[in-house]
Amino acid sequence: MNLKIALLAGDGIGPEVTQEAVNVLNLVAEHGKHTFEFKPLLIGGVAITAHGTPLPEETLKTTLACDAALLGAVGDNKFNHLPPNTRPEAGLLQIRAALGGFANLRPATAYKALADNSPLRPEITEGADIMFVRELLGGLYFGEPRWWDKDKNLAHNTMVYTKDEVVRVARIAFQLAQKRRKKVTSVDKANVLEVSQLWRAAVTEVAQEFPDVTLEHQLVDSMAIHLMNRPRDFDVVLTENLFGDILSDESGVITGSLGMLPSATLGGKVNLYEPVHGSAPDIAGQSKANPVGAILTAAMILRHSAGLEREAKIIEDAVIATLEEGNRTTDIARGNVAGQRTVTTTEMGKLIFDKVKTALAKS
């Protein structure tokens, strides 16, 4: 298997955590005699410094010629004075739009070893394993017209979806559910919004193509409560852009730290993979960043862009085993707890790497 991967490490902790993900990917490549070719490219603040723009043409052109893109994070306080459309973060929005991925996958998994890190009681979170599928290119964030008339004290945004936009993302959610626990929960606000009525009708139609998957509908307001009361009941949660943004962030509490969360955006010209967290300038350069989100993102590359499901699972199991041994970066450390030790970014990466190496050798 040959895979060309655009490596967009970006700013702050981005390069630190992506390096740990790359180490694990190289290990899998070496073991399986695959060729993973990484193309290091500039994006965000480092690109502004080098080329005066957060998304240089070369970065976009080369990424479009790759099979997958792995992004660390963008954002640097020294550019906060710039207008939003020229800041590091603009580079990320531009590349997401150019790659055209519309299905944003965000897993929220409760790790037994981290049960005490969640504000939710362990008996509520234990075993929770949700895959959010958030529509990423439509809805309120992109709908036109949009404006703010400051003289009139009036602002306007538009929530708009076509049936085709709903159908294509729904199919991805059902396909994922077929490989998981065979349940899709579609979230909308169909008791109030026409857009949600279209959403519900289109998802119900797509469900006919997947008779082995159970479909349920939930209204977004009650779903926000169900997620905290009974997260274990959900498998794949499918929703539109704004609702997905809010609900997937809310579900971060199940895992216990932002540094643990991976994501993948599928359906465009090139799949884009990134940990959910930002550039964390407060801890950048100190080897304090948790690399698990980035390493789990590497597992998503193997699963969704390389068809290497077994290797993806090996990485996920290695993360669990490393946590169960009590290894903690500072974000998931809980003070003087017996059996726990605080490790650096590189130490955590190496511990996971070693476990992956052992598991691959046995497989």
Q: Which residues are catalytic?
A: 141, 189, 221, 245, 249
Query: Binding to ligand NAD by residue 69, rule CB under 6 A?
Result: no
Q: Which residues contact 40 (CB under 8 A, 6 or more apart)?
A: 7, 9
- Cα–Cα distance, 29 to 2 (Å, whole number): 9
For ligand NAD, the binding residue among 54, 56, 75, 244 (CB under 6 A) is 75
258: contact with ligand NAD by CB under 6 A: yes
Shortest separation between residue 59's beta carbon and ligand NAD, angstroms: 14
Which residues on adjacent β-strands are paired with residue 108?
A: 130
Contact status: 56 vs ligand NAD (CB under 6 A): no
Nearer to ligand NAD, 185 or 251 (CB): 251
16 or 188: whose CB is closer to ligand NAD?
16
* Tokens linked to 90: 């603009």
CB-count exposure of residue 157 (10 Å: 0-12, 13-18, 19+): middle
Cα separation of 24 and 19, whole Å?
9
Identity of the residue numbered 51: H
Using CB under 6 A as the binding rule, whether residue 16 contacts ligand NAD is answered as no
Binding mask 261-290 for ligand NAD (x = CB under 6 A): -------------x--xxxxxxx-----xx
Q: Alpha-carbon distance 130 to 22, whole Å?
A: 26
Q: In this complex, which beta carbon is closest to ligand NAD, that of residue 139 or of residue 275?
A: 275
CA distance 295 to 301: 10
Q: With binding defined as CB under 6 A, does residue 293 bind ligand NAD?
A: yes
Encoded one letter per residue, x for contact with ligand NAD by CB under 6 A and - for no contact, window 213-252 reads: ----------------------------------------
Q: Report the distance separating Cα 265 and Cα 57, nearest Å.
A: 21
The whole-angstrom separation of Cα 289 and Cα 283 is 7
Residues at the interface with ligand NAD (CB under 6 A): 13, 17, 73-75, 89, 92, 258-259, 274, 277-283, 289-290, 293, 329, 331
